[in-house]
Structure 1
Amino acid sequence: MEMAGAAEADTPSHEPVRTGRSNTILLPIVGVLFAYLLYRFLRPRLRRGLRLDRHVPFPSGASLPAWLRRRAPSGSAVLPYFAPIADRLGALPYLGPFADRLPHGGGAHALVTFPGGEALSVATILEAPGEVVAKSAHSTLYRAAVRSGEAAVLLRFVRPACAVAAEEAYAAARRVGAVSHPNLVPLRAVYVGPRGEKLLVHPFYAAGSLHRFLQEGIEESHRWSIVCNLSLGIAKGLDHLHTGLDKPMVHGNLKTSNVLLDANYECRISDYGLYLLLSPAAAQEMLEASAAQGYKAPELVKMRDATCESDVYSLGVVLLELLAQKERADDDGRPNPRDILLPASFKNLVLERKISDAFSSDLARHCKRSGKEKSLNAFFELATACCSPSPSLRPSTRQVLKRLEEIAR
């Protein structure tokens, strides 16, 4: 027994060793977790992750439309916290002055500005707090706050795999940047990064897109005067692209989601010439998405073959949407019978002598009360003429604009 007790006393205990090993493993994990949580807590406060209602003043007399506001407990309109664009794009972590992170000589040639964007710089663009507002197969849209010139901008990040080479992108951007018209969204600047990423800078319009305006069922969308004003603005913008430039520019992807509105419901066409900055594969994918939504002209097979006539077809579909105005789906999730906006659907209604079924019921009532029923029918006839299967039978944008002016009187 004494020998056994002595043997046990001589045997070293492994318990302290196990405890030391556990501490060695757990302490670094706890430290890293604490540092990460502290970083997440402090970053919005230290790196301009501020609320837009404090740092993005809207022009005098303008404000966010009520249907776009999200109320804070205090009752003021508040937009969410933004993260810097450089973080969104997967750029290098913040390690001192931004200029130190630029490739040698890249800062001077990476950014090209156009009228209205002279005050922009690479640093102000990439360090701007931004929030994703839309995504597509080829690009991502960010709403961002910068501290120069315009307080809020819309940034389009074109993925490197979907974009053309740098020199071709600069050439296309210069062509788009030279366009100026009240009904077209201007290009303020273009940035090409060291990995081939492209950022296009546009003004930000608070009221969103025409598509959203129609979907929300806003009372103003059923007013005949608003419908006429919107259609005239779209026609003027498209006509300028086709006839107002030294070399006509085809839009290539006209649809209601590419028509932006300001607080006064003045429209501006966006994304014109965007296909010029995309690779053939990405441009074709954009065309296929347009076809699925009913905006593609039947003769258009490849995006590079887009013409003014195919733009007019898309314009006709947009005009039909202004008349029909999509309604929300039924409770069972199925779309309403009148929620199909393809020209073929309208053609069937004409053949069945059910033209009135094509119109928004609220818009039809408004026109009847104001004595504009004939104008409504003339508008419908013009829209269907734009959607003629034969390109040669479609009116030009100049003819469409003239006819719309007559209808709106």
Structure 2
Amino acid sequence: MPPFDVPEGDPFGPHNLPYGVFSRTGSSERTVGVRLGDHVLDAGAAAAALGSPYVSLLARPSLNPLLAAGRTAWSDVRRALTAWVTVPSHREAIAPLLHPLSEVTLHLPFEVADYVDFYASENHARNVGRIFRPDAPDSLTPNWKHLPIGYHGRSGTVVVSGTEVVRPSGQRKAPTESAPSFGPSVRLDIEAEVGFVVGTPTDMGTSVPLPAFRDHVFGLCLLNDWSARDIQAWEYVPLGPFLGKSFATSVSAWITPLDALKDAQVAPPQRTHPLLPYLDDASEEPAGYDLRISVAINGHVVSEPPFSTMYWTAAQQLTHMTANGASLRTGDLYGSGTVSGPAENERGSLLELTWNGETPLELPAGKRTFLEDGDEVTLTAWAPGPNGTRTGLGEVTGRITPAS
């Protein structure tokens, strides 16, 4: 079958068209690409071949120029790309510019500016509360239903899918130990998340209201927020996550534009507490997304977290993140926080799946409480698409290597 044609029902058909950055085998030159089935279209070369005015946005080694161009340009470029891969008269020009995925190298698709991670799943927050505060009257902290809790991470250690993750070392102290020790983490975990990519920046001193979410956020991707639970547990009081999180965050090589996910928009769960006006989204366009995530360890699916259960939406997170006047930069990335559903097989971290190591997972390769060296974790996902189709999200894979 010619590469211009995609089998019916392919989750990466013309209705999807996620963006990435690739180089061809034997070449170091990077350029923007768009995924179509099991091929990638050289978007910059296509724009040049068809005399498009978008060459300056697409014939680039990063998505950042396109991200910075703004919402009107995002929509215009998407319409053009859709036509290039579907209109028969373009086939002759486009077909030679489609390269099999097996013959290219995928790179980090954008230059990450700032990185923020949130804590937006009520199921995850309650599970963590029950694990670490079993005697507390409420498993949620008092502020959890009033604002999206988050922390600032380290943008320099955001890596593309397929990058190996070196087991981190740091201080840790078990409750039974009298003093801390230093060494490789022995409680290395995952967090299945969704990342949101900011395109249009803002000036310092301004904030982004809820209705402006789509004017600033270009798209989303799967994200794995690797976590060293033993390091995190010892260091996080009183200022929160630090070295237990900053060693690596993996993202997909493909960024799915929000315009490709219109059929996946859903309302968030019913709110149980009144929200302050700046976060009250009762009259806003539904800003939740029906994303079906799968988590696999060494090829064995261990969980299927549903993103539709997230209490705080990406729009509320963006609004809260800028409520104090903090500026946005092109390439900012913010994570949703661990995605966990109400069922045991919907939990998005090993901390929850094994209940802090009390109930190990039974895997073909043996029992697991936390990750061992050589383990490979893969996140995949899909969302409802137009006319009963599925819209695929690019996978995130990382393999653990021994501490250096």
TM-score, with structure 1 as normaliser: 0.22
| Structure with higher RCO (Cα < 8 A, 6+ apart) | 2
Structure 1 or 2: larger helix share?
Answer: 1
Please identify which structure carries the higher strand content: 2
- Please report the TM-score for the alignment, with normalisation by the length of structure 2: 0.22
